[in-house]
Amino acid sequence: MTLVPDGFSSHVHAMRFRLLVMVSVVSCCLVLPASAKDPVTPAYIVTDGFSGAILDSHRAGEPRHPASLTKLMTLYLAFQSVAESRARWETVLKTSARAASQGGSVLELKAGETLTLEEAVMAIITRSANDAAVVLAEYLGGSEAGFATRMNETARRIGLTATHLENATGLSAPGQVTTAADMARLALALRHQFPEEYARFARKSMIWKKRELPNLNGFLGAFTGAEGLKTGFTCPAGYNLVASATRNGKSLIGVVLGAHSKDEREALMVRNLNRALRGQAQNTAAKTEIFSANSIPDLSGSVCAGGVVPGDSASLVVPLPTGYAVELAFGSHLAKVRQDLLTVMSRLGLVGRTYVLRVPLGGDVRYRGLVTGLAEELAIKTCLDFREKGGDCLVLNPLMLQGALEEQNRLARFVAR
């Protein structure tokens, strides 16, 4: 039975939800101060997706940097504006110079460029696009600062007692803070207040300028029954994730804040949700822990060692191929594509530099096995020879190869986070 109604129109239901939130805060967030010598471990929580009851938690009340999980509140306000008829999905938004200048994950909007409110929302969900988030914030709030005021008013209204937000993107800013417990409450509010829009978090791609851009939330493909919601990354925050899943009639919401790698973030979430599904979750909510609001762990030294941000060009030191290339293998499994490529090269007696491109396709990721650095004549002859043997291939001229490499680099920058 769902204990929180789909809409919060009833004052009585709203009061019940606030009571549930207050109980959750007291039960999960009263914890003793951590010793300065304690290692920074990820904070996490698992709650029932219907009632919000806490099933498992660890340091769930500890202040953390939200990173792009902030965008869940940006989306909440967008959904609310449409629900209240203050905006429409087809409303056209114009990109300001400030929005176009955003760094990190972006849709690569140019100043003056337009997009619909729905495109902005889907860019935030699937691409975590900072430029789209600012475009949306400026439209709904008049300015990003005005929008931040609305974000914090809404946070207090729905019971996010330890969250304060300074912008619409989650890019690091003084005073921007949340907790795992608060992020679980926000996901629960999204699920119950906007059930139709909540389904957008499970979409595997979006269409932008006639191109299909894949959802970069790897959790969608890593867990059976996954429904979204949002990943987050900055150097101070580390790797964050809010996720939901439904399996065998059981619904769960999970949060991980401050993982040291993308793999750790995903593995910890999968472990926590599986444990809760099996009824083996270790409910630590009854423990008394108190965390200082003035001490937020900074993971920059471990996740961005040497000042290198994962996925940035400085960390991608692979020399780029030149000349013509011929694609001789294609598939969804990296190891198999590599092996197929070497096998075909051996059959053809071909010598050259191999290169495997990672590319989006149909909301998923595929791999293209290439032999590069070839002269035009050799590339064409190789492809014709392979086709005579029953194979399939594609010749890429230098311009086509460069475009494919640029697309891979854009994808690699986001996927690394």
Q: Is 128 a catalytic residue?
A: yes
User: What pLDDT digit, counting tens, does each position of 359-413 carry?
Assistant: 766 556 688 999 999 999 999 999 999 999 999 999 999 888 887 777 676 665 5
Residues 132, 213 contacting (CB under 8 angstroms): no
- Distance (Å, whole) CA 261 – CA 2: 35
- How many helices (DSSP H) and strands (DSSP E) are in the chain? 14, 13
> Which domains does the chain show, CATH number per domain?
11-302 (3.40.710.10), 314-415 (3.30.70)
Q: Is 71 a catalytic residue?
A: yes
Q: Is 68 a catalytic residue?
A: yes
Strand locations in 49-148 (E):
54-58, 92-94, 114-116
- Distance (Å, whole) CA 273 – CA 242: 12
H-assigned helices in 46-110: 71-83, 97-100
Which residue out of 24, 27, 57, 71 is catalytically annotated?
A: 71
- Distance (Å, whole) CA 299 – CA 264: 14
User: What pLDDT digit, counting tens, does each position of 206-247 carry?
Assistant: 999 988 888 989 898 889 999 999 999 999 999 999 999 999
Which residue out of 57, 81, 128, 244 is catalytically annotated?
A: 128
Residues of the chain predicted below pLDDT 50: 1-37, 285-288, 313-317
Q: Which residues contact 175 (CB under 8 A, 6 or more apart)?
A: 164, 166
Q: pTM for this structure? A: 0.73
Which residue out of 24, 68, 81, 105 is catalytically annotated?
A: 68
The residues that bridge with 326 in the sheet, in sequence order, are: 371, 395
